[in-house]
Amino acid sequence: MLGLLLGACLPETVPGISGRVDLAPPGADAIRLVYLGSGGWLIEHRGEQILTAPLFSNPDIVRTGLAGIEADTAAIDRHMGRYDVTDARAILVGHAHYDHLMDVPRVASIHAVRARILGSPTTANTLGFWSGLADRIDVVDEAATADQETVGRWIRYGDRVRVMPLRSRHGPHLYGITLYRGSIDTPLREPPRRAPGWVDGRTLAFLVDFLEDDGEIAFRIYYQDATAPPPLGFAPDALVAAHPVDVAILVPATFEEVDWHPEALVANLRPRRILLGHWEDFFRPVDEPAVSVPLTDIPEFERRLARVFDGPVWRPDRFTEFRMPTARAGG
């Protein structure tokens, strides 16, 4: 598998947007979204923040495939330290592969020191005893997750943020094979030392609502951190019909291994805007210019997306910031 990755010959794709994208009028109520790279986002409304699990360590492909890996605390502190996330409410973890979970303990311990961590039993057990975070993990009960037909349970983070986990599955990486599959059923006493020890566990997508003071929805976000075979990863039709998805955060990486991605998700979510995350090569240092992840034809993904979606789409460079108006601000 490592040889296949090293032999990838698809053209490298550079970011589609960088800097700041401001869609809200001056002074208008707005949602702020910052792309942190890999699956990581910082999302904020009126001081209420959530994070999705970021990766800054980016071990190179040789270390990842053949040697040990560990969190690069200096890189995490340097890049996460650009933002004040002291009061962030939650860190959402869609699955427990190293590129989504390995940096979370440092982020939660040093930066987002009040945040709850929301994820699967495997996420909780991987963090285990060694992370010191056991009392800050909210484990998603399979029975509480939602799907296209079933509305799940909202998990509240304060009065103005709620999250609904959606039943999903990590799509294959190559030739129908999904790397690092499995679950961890008992808490670990030390972190996994190699990439295969960071198994995926139950994969989740999330529906996130930022609320007005009166409980009305200010802004609705769909988030996934891995491609999923439809209808897995879908949001409940009833919720989407009642309030549109204001922005859907979709994953291009390895989309060709999953039928009807992104077409099926666009039909389910009917989003107003789309952001692409987890598109870039996370085997390169964060400080290097971003290029597309190996083995994924990003231009083809964008062409397919354009056939079924005529709204705005952005593929951001790391640390690109978006400002989008809420419903009451005309968004």
Number of Cβ atoms within 10 Å of the Cβ of 77: 14
Residue 11 pLDDT: 59
Are 33 and 322 in contact by the 8 Å Cβ rule? The answer is: yes
pLDDT in tens, 1-22: 343 344 444 557 767 889 999 9
Residue 6 pLDDT: 42
Mean pLDDT of 38-52: 97
Residue 15 pLDDT: 73
Strands 30-37 and 321-325: antiparallel
What CATH number has the domain bearing residue 231? Answer: 3.60.15.10
- Does residue 17 fall inside a structural domain? no
- pLDDT tops 50 at residue 29: yes
- Does residue 155 fall inside a structural domain? yes
| Residue found by looking up tokens 């590129």 in the block | 99
- Amino acid identity of residue 177, one-letter, is I
Residue 247 pLDDT: 98
- pLDDT tops 80 at residue 66: yes
- Does residue 175 fall inside a structural domain? yes
pLDDT in tens, 123-159: 999 999 999 999 999 999 988 899 999 999 999 999 9
Q: How far apart are CA 144 and CA 152, in angstroms?
A: 5
| DSSP element (H, E) containing 65 | helix 61-66
- Does residue 174 fall inside a structural domain? yes
- Does residue 207 fall inside a structural domain? yes
- Does residue 21 fall inside a structural domain? no
Q: How many percent of the chain have pLDDT more than 70? A: 96
- Does residue 292 fall inside a structural domain? yes
Residue 69 sits at φ, ψ, to 5 deg, of -130, 155
- pLDDT tops 50 at residue 221: yes
Confidence band of 328 (pLDDT split at 50, 70, 90): confident
Residue 10 pLDDT: 58
- pLDDT tops 60 at residue 62: yes
- Does residue 16 fall inside a structural domain? no
pLDDT in tens, 267-315: 999 999 999 999 999 999 999 999 999 889 999 999 999 999 999 999 9
Residue 2 pLDDT: 40
The range of the structural domain enclosing residue 201 comes to 2-8+30-329
Are 207 and 244 in contact by the 8 Å Cβ rule? The answer is: no
295 CB burial (10 A radius; 0-12, 13-18, 19+)? middle
Domain count across the chain: 1
Question: E strands along 83-231, which residues?
Answer: 90-92, 116-119, 137-139, 155-156, 161-167, 204-211, 217-223
Q: How far apart are CA 138 and CA 165, in angstroms?
A: 11
